[in-house]
Chains A and B, each alone.
Chain A
Amino acid sequence: MLIKLSGGTVYDPANGIDGRVMDLFIRDQHLVEPPADNEPIDQHYPLEGKVVMAGAIDLHTHIGGGKVNIARTLLPEQQPAYSRPRAGRMRSGSGGIAPSTHATGYRYAEMGYTTCFEPALLPVNARQAHMEMADTPLLDTGGYALLGNDEFLLQLIAEGAEQQTINDYVAWTLRASQCIGVKVVNPGGISAFKFNQRALDVDDVHPHYPISPRDILRTLSRALHQLGVPHPLHVHASNLGVPGNYLSTLATMDAAEGLPIHLTHIQFHSYGTEGDRKFSSCAAQIAEAVNRQANISIDVGQIMFGQTVTVSGDTMRQYANHGHAHPRKWLCMDIECEAGCGVVPFRYRDRNFVNALQWAIGLELFLLVDDPWRVFLTTDHPNGAPFTSYPHLIRLLMDRSFRNDMLARIHPDAGASSHLASLDREYSLNEIAIMTRAAPARLLGMTDYGHLAPGAVADLVVYHREGNPEQMFERPMLVFKRGEVVAREGAICASVNGSTHVVRPEYDQGIETRLAEWFARYHSMSLRNFGISDDEMADGIGSPVVIHPCASTSHP
């Protein structure tokens, strides 16, 4: 099958193409060089006046694993308003803030997203996360394994284990849980909460192990660097949501000691204590630190007003915030000496000073960080807002007058204490393409994704060029998944299943001897059953793996 897309205006920042009118060719599942003149074209799409980009990639969205199912269980009353009827072969579904898996896949694809990453995959819960993602059609997926609150690693660090041993354990975890990256959530804090500690700042000492979050951050970021894993350590920093936490965030950046580090939903970590209400924006300080340090990337975790549900591994902070639950029910879980999860429904209100300022802080961060290759468009779905609000968020970034109209509606004191009104920047289409395609693919080491050069996987989106970016990004004209049209004019027309993206750094299998002993003594599962094989992924879980290379191992 040879497909020609002619005359579209292409935004392909990974290849330096910023709005160039050109033809693209798809053969089967990939983009290819223009064919010989005499080769017949099977399908031709004339796209004059249309905008063409690679399929969008969400590098941080909670779409799989136990916590999402808990959110669904906790909030049955939130789902009916978003029921999605069965249509032909497309499955029925439900849910606006914690949608069912099929509904998630369909809606993402309708918006032009073709790849999504679950950022908090508990290794012990990896099978479920991968099964849920396998049941999320139309998307390629992947996960970041949660480490840094597992008692095994904390004990290793506390004992002063060699970095090499840590590296082996990290690589083994990636292999066992079939993940593409590693995330740490409130380093050491989830574990500390199990010991009844209620706060743990970057240089505080864990109540049981003589180590601090800084030690965990340094050890893990070094491990990933030395293993050559493309995606840097993905960090949910200490003290989420606490006024004054920007200092913890700066300390977290510092703990990486210049190695690559990704700070996630940084909006929730950019708060000061100025003003009458002792709550203020420190977006400027954070953005300045990001701009200054090229090893740092961030995603924002923008909030939007309305009902949502917060799901997080950070039981320490979720427990602390349970008083804000709306509706008034919440759940926390301590999990397998490995991590935890907390689910607290929440309603962000534009007339509430704190919520309104959170909204402004997120936008300030987007606008103050100079390099679109290092700032990613997320709402930390569903924590800041459901992913369905992305088109609205894109408009806020691209349209200053719209942004200022919205700013005028929020709590006036919040508006007054934000710099947002003075920020003139408007994102260009090229910058949007960077932050939603080219940059996430690059940061994840997915060389065949997020761009449109010959050889790339033909995940591709065609947009109508609308004056209003919200409309444009809400309802693309065409979405191709691996060369097949799966959505037209914002409606799904075919369903294909995706794959699971992983990395496989090498490691010394000697680590398994130590792990086997640990599992036998303390765990309630055998080591042999912990890891997921490629056969099991393909035949049982239903999502075959795609392996991305790691840089050749470097030792300091």
Chain B
Amino acid sequence: MFEPVTAFLERFGNVVGRILLTVVYFIAVAPVAIVYRAVADSLMTKRRPSSTYRPWEQINDTLEDARRQD
């Protein structure tokens, strides 16, 4: 009996979420992104190195490291 209600709330939440995220995108993301885009090439779209392999730098070799999500 609650299913239609939950489904409605979920859909409603998703719509609101999408609107909010659109606002966030143009208000909060935009200024950072415009600067970021100008200085960084994190996706290597501009540079073309002779090899796209780079050293593996992640450190995750102890239980302590492994408890982290980053």
Q: Do A and B interact?
A: no
